[in-house]
Amino acid sequence: MPPTTTASSGQQPGKSGRKKGRRARLIVLVLVLALVGAVAYGGYWSVSTVRAAFPQTKGSIELAGLSGPVDVKRDSYGIPQIYASSDADLFMAQGYVQAQDRFYEMDVRRHMTSGRLSEMFGKGQVDDDEFLRTLGWDRVAKKEYDTKLSASTKKYLQAYAKGVNAYLQGKSGKDISLEYAALGFENDYKPEKWTPVDSVAWLKAMAWDLRGNMQDEIDRALMTSRLGPKQIADLYPEYPYSRNQAIVQEGQYNELTRTFEQNGSSQENGLSGTGTGTGTSSGGTGTSTSGTGTSTSGTATGTSASTSSSTASALQSQLSGLYNVLDDVPTAVGVNGQGIGSNSWVVAGSHTITGKPLLANDPHLSASLPSVWYQMGLHCRTVSSKCRYDVSGYTFAGMPGVVIGHNAKIAWGMTNSGVDVTDLYLEKLSGDGYLYDGTTKPFTAREETIKVAGGTSKKIVVRETNNGPLLSDRYNELVKVGKKATVDNAAPDRGDGYGVALRWTALDPGTSMDAVFAMDKASNWSEFREAAALFDVPSQNLVYADSENIGYTLPGRIPIRAKGDTGAIPAPGWDPKYAWTGKYIEQDELPYEYNPERGYIVTANQAVVDKDKYPYTLTTDWGYGTRSQRITDLIEQKIKGGGKISTDDMRQMQLDNSSEIAKLLVPKLLKIDVEDKDVRQAQELLEGWDYTQDADSAAAAYFNAVWRNILKLAFGNKLPKELRVKGQCLWVDPVNTVGPADEADKVRECGQRDADQAQPDGGDRWFEVVRKLMDDENSDWWKTPKGVGDRPAATNRDELFERAMIDARWELTAKLGKDIDTWSWGRLHRLFLKNQTLGIEGPGFLQYMLNRGPWKLSGGEATVNATGWNAAGGYGVVWVPSMRMVVNLGDLDKSKWINLTGASGHAYSAHYTDQTGKWVKGELLDWSFSDDAVDKSTTDSLVLKP
């Protein structure tokens, strides 16, 4: 029986939301008047079509399956707080409410995770579906549900699915969202029932976007076509342990260090340690000069014993094809593994004005509309064995529980750890199988049928080796090897080419869904650590606070490899020495800290531990610690100045726009004698600049243009075409040269990579590259030929810098005008919010209806306020702080939060992007938690009745 309702349906904002609601309705009317009578795929929309899917937020609704009434209280931003008397009712209501606001988004996500996008969007998605079917996320999710998850987790997932399906009952597509109405013009697609596995599979999509260093593996191998081992090593420098502190400086790993030092540094020793979690490190942040980056021994450059430089060169077509496939996979929560970062830190009560800890978090993900996050509270009226949750925070639409946030006792935040949990394997294939340890092994194979809206179904065969699915089966270039390429004696004859397989922890069933519920109800450090141990994929840095304590723990299923440092480049799948052992680092051996003496913990994707003080290889591709060290410096400045840190201080730190690379380069740029008066005028913008990248700053605009041109001249033009921007054609030096070549020897090559994925992207790895080269003024990297017109050639660092200043001046003249008084960083650095399906691929008028923006943003790449941009592709915003929160453990009702967009996924809802304006300004909303605070902030109340 369909749910029955009393009171009016349709969204009804409270007093503070009425103006927003009226404005939204006016926009709807204007657009509908423009559309009425205009035929689009044979139909037209009316006001009722646009508003039909708005959720009922007042009155009551009867839902079969509830054991008692559930209250849904929404504030003026439409953020729901749910109150129930049993766990099952709580999560059923969560499913219902999220479906009210976001079902279209949920439906697209589950079709993505199961490789069924073609069922919704037609033949244009077949290639994506083939790749996603090969990964088999939904198959792994089903195994997790059937064999790994606890009985209580299954019960919650079932309750959540029941709530979603209660919402769907009796509704047609146009009753659910505007997007379905649009899809209805082209096909007769009908949403199907939600299942528990649909929720579990979403964690696989999250893991994919946070998968670690797979892209670095591909890029390093691709570089070998034009660069030698030393040159590639220049572009992957060591992590600067002596300058940028690791996360864990005091704590458990020091116990392992003793064993490490006694037994040697080889991972094969199988070391273990007990650890106390509270020890004090005498090593501090370490002074390693060996780092974890690319070494000149060839580990990361394609010159190891197993895979020579010539072998790596033979793989250019395969790996280029693999990149293209990976790049086409729909972005779930990030930029397909590129440049993803986050900030999270916690400060002990000894350093705060309340005397209680403060915890901040802002995950950096690609901008999407609606935001990937959904804010809500889940409250048991009385916490007991029957109803165990009282938690509030950020979750994903389509998944029960809260992923990041706080309950009545503890708070937690997450950043991506970046640990290496993926390896690409080269496979010697034949008609009978694949080569392993001198023997041909049979493939594991399955047939998949891809249904296509408005088209013919397609069948594919998915093949797997002992190392995982063959990604190369999904792209023809991956099975071709250059005719002139050679392989060394250690490798088998290439025959028709090598395949490429993926080994990844997320392709094995796990328990991350259990971890979500366990964290939501944890009440102390011990329970939190036990919960975190279940969070196996993706591996995250978890920061913790309760009213008296702070902590950090690194969970995750991190493999121990037979040959300690695989993962830098694709490994030889035929050699058992490079296979995973089936063993993983024990949870008690993973780094953690609890109440460190310094009184704070900062995580921002930097190294977790000093490489020389920990026995296991976590990764060779950390972030380089620019953001984390800036946060650390801001905290230290406050502490050493005798001040105490407030909630607003934490917010201000999140908004820090300081450019660390500008601090390094600007003093050098100002010393250069520039003859051109127009370029000199632009150079003068940098005089007295405080290195802050505000949206209205002309100096920030010019500096970032100079930085972009330095990278392009010194590195970008010397990279292989597979890494450069698509369509960017250059006459470049011959292979394996860095310095200028004779004009007659130049070759023409056009870039092949999307603008937001190309290199050099300008992130803090490139900060470190340039920093390392600054004292070598005559490095070949600084040499570049003469440019267009009178753009001079460069033979040293300062000449290249002068050329970059000239190029930047005329680039900004073209983009912003000749008058530098009109320049501003925000005019270049803009955020567009796009609906992730029809807002990108739909007809123009529909994109206009669904998309929003632009906004002019402050911040930049590798700043704390990380509004990321790709220097190879342009200045537009690629990824952002997807939400911001500050939790006050002294008074939870004084905590603050904000989302990138809004609670609703319905275009023209008052809550579609009602938080974006405040987000742009760096403002935070009040975050009510207690019953009294929630009641005071409530504007709409809905009762769900049995």
State residue 429's pLDDT score: 87
Average pLDDT, integer, range 291-316:
38
pLDDT tens digits for 342-357?
Answer: 999 999 999 999 999 9
State residue 223's pLDDT score: 85
State residue 300's pLDDT score: 33
755 vs 668: which has the higher pLDDT: 668
Percentage of residues of the chain with pLDDT beyond 70:
80
Spell out where 796-918 has E strands. 830-833, 852-856, 868-869, 877-881, 883-888, 896-899
Residue in the block written with tokens 């000093």: 610
- Please check the confidence at residue 498 and state whether its pLDDT lies above 50: yes
pLDDT tens digits for 849-872?
Answer: 899 999 999 999 999 999 999 999
Of the ranges 17-26, 455-464, 539-548, 642-651, which one carries the lowest mean pLDDT score? Answer: 17-26
State residue 568's pLDDT score: 66
Cα–Cα nearest to 474, from 157, 126, 869, 26: 126
State residue 840's pLDDT score: 81
Of the ranges 206-215, 535-544, 838-847, which one carries the lowest mean pLDDT score? Answer: 206-215
Structure tokens that stand for 294 in this block: 């690319």
100 vs 756: which has the higher pLDDT: 100
Residue in the block written with tokens 């200028």: 740
State residue 544's pLDDT score: 98
C-alpha to C-alpha distance for 536 and 532, rounded to whole angstroms: 8
Average pLDDT, the chain: 84
Structure tokens that stand for 719 in this block: 């990279």
The number of helices, as runs of H, and strands, as runs of E, in the chain is 29, 34
- CB distance 102 to 905 below 8 Å: yes
- Please check the confidence at residue 299 and state whether its pLDDT lies above 90: no
φ/ψ of 615, rounded to 5, equals -80, -15
Q: What global pTM score does this model have?
A: 0.89
- Please check the confidence at residue 268 and state whether its pLDDT lies above 60: no
Average pLDDT, integer, range 434-461:
95
State residue 423's pLDDT score: 87
Chain centroid offset of residue 667 CA = 33
The secondary structure of 480-510 as a DSSP string is ---TT----TTSPP-TT-EEEEEEEGGGS--
Q: Which of 155-159, 189-193, 255-259, 572-576 has the highest mean pLDDT?
A: 155-159
- Please check the confidence at residue 672 and state whether its pLDDT lies above 60: yes
Q: How far is CA 568 from CA 59, 212, 268, 537, 578, in A?
A: 58, 11, 18, 20, 12
Residue in the block written with tokens 């970008």: 716
Give the number of other CB atoms < 10 A from CB of residue 775.
8
Of the ranges 32-36, 212-216, 338-342, 941-945, which one carries the lowest mean pLDDT score? Answer: 32-36
State residue 740's pLDDT score: 57
pLDDT tens digits for 12-36?
Answer: 334 444 444 444 434 333 333 334 3
- As a whole number of Å, the end-to-end CA separation of the chain is 12
Average pLDDT, integer, range 635-661:
97
State residue 303's pLDDT score: 33
Q: Band of the pLDDT at 484, cuts 50, 70, 90?
A: very low
- Please check the confidence at residue 482 and state whether its pLDDT lies above 70: no
State residue 838's pLDDT score: 84
pLDDT tens digits for 559-603?
Answer: 988 775 555 677 889 999 888 988 999 988 999 999 999 999 999
Structure tokens that stand for 882 in this block: 């997807």
Of the ranges 85-99, 368-382, 559-573, 655-669, which one carries the lowest mean pLDDT score? Answer: 559-573
φ/ψ of 282, rounded to 5, equals -85, -10
Of the ranges 310-319, 656-665, 706-715, 795-804, which one carries the lowest mean pLDDT score? Answer: 310-319
pLDDT tens digits for 769-778?
Answer: 999 999 999 9
State residue 158's pLDDT score: 98
3-state secondary structure 98-110: HHHHHHHHHHHHH
Percentage of residues of the chain with pLDDT beyond 90:
64
Q: Please work out, in degrees rounded to the nearest 5, the angle formed at the alpha carbon of residue 517 by the alpha carbons of 511 and 520.
A: 135
787 vs 272: which has the higher pLDDT: 787
State residue 3's pLDDT score: 56
Q: 147 in helix, strand or coil?
A: helix
State residue 25's pLDDT score: 39
Q: Band of the pLDDT at 226, cuts 50, 70, 90?
A: confident
State residue 14's pLDDT score: 41
pLDDT tens digits for 110-123?
Answer: 999 999 999 998 99
State residue 176's pLDDT score: 92
pLDDT tens digits for 813-862?
Answer: 999 999 999 999 999 999 999 987 888 877 888 888 899 999 999 999 99
- CB distance 370 to 919 below 8 Å: no
Question: In terms of residues, how long is the chain?
Answer: 946
pLDDT tens digits for 373-412?
Answer: 999 999 999 999 999 999 999 999 999 999 999 999 999 9
Q: Identity (one letter) of the amino acid at 589?
A: E
- Please check the confidence at residue 336 and state whether its pLDDT lies above 50: no
- Please check the confidence at residue 481 and state whether its pLDDT lies above 60: no
pLDDT tens digits for 873-916?
Answer: 999 999 999 999 999 999 999 999 999 999 999 999 999 999 99
- CB distance 657 to 693 below 8 Å: yes
